């Protein structure tokens, strides 16, 4: 199905393991809060200043960081592989995937932060930690309570567009299928629902939802779950008589009322049936996830705190620490000494080939509403 790749969107997961917000103890896989307190004491402050400046100019970067972060962590782990423009093998990198490419937002902010870090502390702070800190800072500016982000990640040497499909959930894959992917990453179904709430900010491109009003399936031209107003809105935005290039750039906000503010209105909207992304809406329909959506809709404070703790856990997925990987001098390419390490790069990518999910679009079964739960 040609829409398989276009409908890949981001999903965020939270884990039930609690990382105390005031702790400086070792975290999962050797990560530690305050990791740079001796080697580069100003590291987190530098990133926060860069992000704050970017957010003042464009608050949409907070949602951009969340997307980059998830797509990084679920492919090879949180190792900044998504930031690479090329790898020694010459293969297409993650940025070249239709799931990323033009959808990535905020990359230049990461470049700026890394450049300032290199000026202050050359060769000390990894791109993976820079991205992790920036994502935390953007989320906090958008309304999430302040939380600690452990450091100590190192940067990967491999990045392959071919590995995106098998590691990033599709827009309307069955919930069970997506939950299984998260389990492989050490996360749970409930955690999946909690961080899907990142869709309370940001926008989605037409590729991720226009199909709902254009030959939805063999029975319906338009997704019957859409009300007339939402259907008309999508048609107006995505079926205009303009060039394909312009349509590809067209977006709609997930939440038209507070597009830059993290809040539980996202879950309330799902109960109203106004979810823009089909698999978001499925969370309020599927009996396995509907109770979770209800609890989160009723207690915004609890959700925001869960979201904060979740981000620290997501940031620990398959990280590289110690002597693994490298500390890049700049985030778009591996260091000069590793330019010829194609063998290492190939080996590091092998662990991501076991998630061979079907990339075709799964149509809704009327009696079993179990589509994917994505974040764009």
Residue ranges at the known binding site for substrate: 169
Q: If you search the block for the tokens 């764009």, which residue do you land on?
A: 376
Taking the C-alpha atoms of residue 70 and residue 78, their distance in angstroms, rounded to an integer, is 8
CA–CA separation, 144 and 124 (whole Å):
28
Largest interatomic CA distance in the chain: 63
- Which residue, chain included where needed, has tokens 């089909």? 278
DSSP 31-85: -BTTTTTTT-TTHHHHHHHHHHHHHHH-TTHHHHHHHHHHHHHTSSSSSSGGG-S
- DSSP state for residue 251 in the 8-state scheme: E
Q: 285 is written with which tokens?
A: 């329909």
Q: Is the alpha carbon torsion for 363, 364, 368, 371 positive or negative?
A: positive
Closest C-alpha to 196, from 101, 298, 314: 314
Candidates 71, 114, 116, 153; catalytic one: 71
| Residue 10 DSSP one-character state | B
Q: Distance between CA 98 and CA 18 in Å, rounded?
A: 35
**How far is it, in rounded angstroms, from Cα 231 to Cα 353?**
38
- Residue 71 annotated to the active site: yes
Q: What dihedral do alpha carbons 244, 246, 252, 253 form, nearest 10°? A: 140
Binding-site annotation, residues for Ca(2+): 72, 75, 77, 79, 81, 94, 255, 258
Closest by Cα among 227, 45, 82, 285 to 168: 82
With CA atoms as reference, report the closest residue to 242 among 217, 278, 206.
206
What residues contact 343, with CB distance under 8 A and at least 6 apart?
none
Rounded Cα distance, 101 and 95, in Å: 5
Q: Which residues are catalytic?
A: 71
């Amino acid at each position: 199905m040609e829409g398989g790749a276009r409908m890949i969107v981001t999903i965020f997961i939270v884990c039930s393991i609690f990382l105390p917000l005031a702790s400086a103890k070792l975290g999962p896989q050797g990560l530690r809060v305050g990791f740079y307190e001796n080697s580069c004491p100003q590291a987190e402050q530098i990133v926060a200043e860069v992000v704050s400046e970017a957010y003042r100019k464009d608050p949409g970067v907070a949602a951009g960081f969340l997307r980059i972060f998830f797509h990084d962590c679920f492919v090879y782990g949180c190792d900044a592989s998504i930031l690479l423009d090329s790898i020694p093998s010459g293969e297409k990198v993650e940025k070249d995937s239709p799931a990323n490419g033009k959808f990535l937002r905020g990359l230049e902010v990461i470049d700026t932060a890394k450049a300032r870090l290199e000026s202050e502390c050359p060769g000390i702070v990894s791109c993976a930690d820079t991205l992790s800190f920036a994502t935390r800072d953007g989320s906090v500016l958008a309304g999430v309570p302040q939380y600690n982000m452990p450091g100590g990640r190192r940067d990967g040497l491999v990045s392959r567009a071919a590995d995106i499909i098998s590691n990033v959930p599709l827009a309307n894959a069955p919930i069970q299928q997506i939950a299984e992917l998260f389990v492989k990453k050490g996360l749970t179904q409930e955690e999946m629902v909690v961080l899907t709430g990142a869709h309370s900010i940001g926008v989605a491109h037409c590729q991720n939802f226009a199909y709902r009003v254009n030959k939805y399936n063999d029975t319906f031209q338009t997704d019957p779950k859409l009300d007339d107003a939402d259907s008309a809105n999508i048609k107006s935005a995505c079926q205009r008589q303009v060039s394909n290039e312009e349509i590809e750039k067209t977006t709609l906000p997930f939440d038209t009322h507070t597009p830059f503010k993290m809040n539980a209105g996202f879950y309330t909207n799902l109960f109203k049936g106004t979810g823009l992304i089909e698999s978001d809406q499925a969370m309020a329909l599927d009996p396995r996830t509907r109770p979770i959506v209800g609890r989160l809709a009723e207690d915004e404070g609890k959700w925001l705190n869960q979201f904060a703790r979740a981000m620290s856990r997501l940031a620990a997925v398959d990280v590289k620490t110690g002597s693994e990987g490298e500390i890049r001098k700049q985030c778009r390419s591996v260091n000069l000494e590793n330019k010829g390490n194609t063998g290492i790069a190939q080996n590091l990518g092998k662990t991501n080939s076991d998630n061979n999910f079907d990339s075709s679009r799964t149509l809704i079964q009327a009696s079993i509403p179990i589509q994917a739960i994505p974040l764009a």
